[in-house]
């Protein structure tokens, strides 16, 4: 059991970050390594001694065989690939930030250097420029951008929904389910047979949405943040 340095996180945040994956117990002294400003602890079981450091219960939902149900889509929507020449990137960015309120990077108030907004802005930038995403789809009604979804590749047969966000004013109008069904069809057409999506188990609207469109909970991971001045 040892800490694994995270080069990307360290460079992006400007201080050393590491992670450790544990089972059901941990030697707390391992976490207080002063080389690292922040340590992420990942566990499949809750760790009682770290309860106050819990920042996320990450839920991975899985669809073993992609199937599309167009009956739950809103046919009045136009869903198409994001195009910066005709769609508002600023709206996309705003929706991205709104979608992250359950993120551990938002929940953890020890982040004081705008880490959350910088991270999520980088996420959507990398999705739009296809560095991290295969495609970004937007949902439009009367030319107004109501929501978007990103599709990434996790394995040869496994597609992943990276980001999904809908304008608060458009919720309850099947925008999210329409985007999901569209991306399921797209993924199937380009050769994927399975799909997954990761969210926070405490994000009840999201978990209910994914279950309603055919996803099943596959894994639950508890994520703790240990800052180097913490007392455990």
The whole-chain average pLDDT of the chain stands at 94
* Predicted confidence (pLDDT) at residue 229 exceeds the cutoff of 90: no
Residue 79 burial (CB count, 10 A) = 22
* Predicted confidence (pLDDT) at residue 33 exceeds the cutoff of 70: yes
Cβ atoms of 61 and 197 closer than 8 Å:
yes
The percent of residues above 90 in pLDDT, for the chain, comes to 87
The beta strands (E) that lie in 71-209 are given as 78-81, 135-141, 144-153, 158-166, 194-200
* Predicted confidence (pLDDT) at residue 230 exceeds the cutoff of 70: no
Cα–Cα distances (Å) from 87 to 84, 128, 177, 178, 220, in that order, read 5, 12, 21, 18, 36
* Predicted confidence (pLDDT) at residue 142 exceeds the cutoff of 70: yes
Phi-psi label, residue 143: left if phi above 0, alpha if psi -120 to 50, beta otherwise: left
What pLDDT sits at residue 70? 80
The verdict on pTM exceeding 0.95 is no
What pLDDT sits at residue 69? 87
* Predicted confidence (pLDDT) at residue 231 exceeds the cutoff of 60: no
How does DSSP assign 15-30, residue by residue?
A: S-EEEEEESS---HHH
* Predicted confidence (pLDDT) at residue 166 exceeds the cutoff of 90: yes
95: confidence class by pLDDT, cuts 50, 70, 90? very high
Tokens of 147: 């929501």
């Amino acid at each position: 059991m040892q800490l694994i340095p995270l080069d990307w996180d360290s460079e992006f945040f400007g201080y050393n970050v590491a992670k450790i994956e544990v089972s059901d117990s941990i030697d707390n002294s391992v976490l207080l390594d002063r080389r690292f400003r922040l340590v992420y602890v990942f566990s499949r079981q809750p760790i009682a001694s770290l309860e106050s450091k819990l920042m996320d219960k990450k839920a991975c939902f899985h669809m073993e065989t992609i199937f599309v149900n167009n009956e739950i889509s809103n046919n009045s929507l136009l869903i198409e690939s994001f195009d910066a020449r005709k769609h508002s990137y600023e709206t996309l960015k705003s929706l991205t930030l709104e979608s992250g309120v359950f993120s551990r990077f938002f929940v953890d108030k020890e982040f004081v250097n705008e880490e959350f907004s910088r991270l999520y802005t980088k996420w959507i930038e990398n999705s739009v420029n296809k560095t991290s995403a295969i495609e970004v789809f937007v949902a439009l009604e009367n030319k107004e951008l109501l929501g978007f979804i990103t599709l990434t590749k996790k394995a040869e047969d496994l597609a992943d929904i990276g980001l999904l966000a809908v304008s608060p004013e458009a919720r309850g109008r099947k925008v999210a389910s329409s985007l999901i069904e569209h991306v399921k069809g797209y993924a199937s057409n380009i050769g994927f047979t399975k799909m997954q999506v990761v969210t926070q188990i405490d994000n009840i609207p999201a978990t209910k949405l994914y279950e309603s469109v055919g996803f099943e909970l596959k894994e639950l991971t508890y994520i703790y943040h240990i800052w180097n001045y913490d007392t455990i």
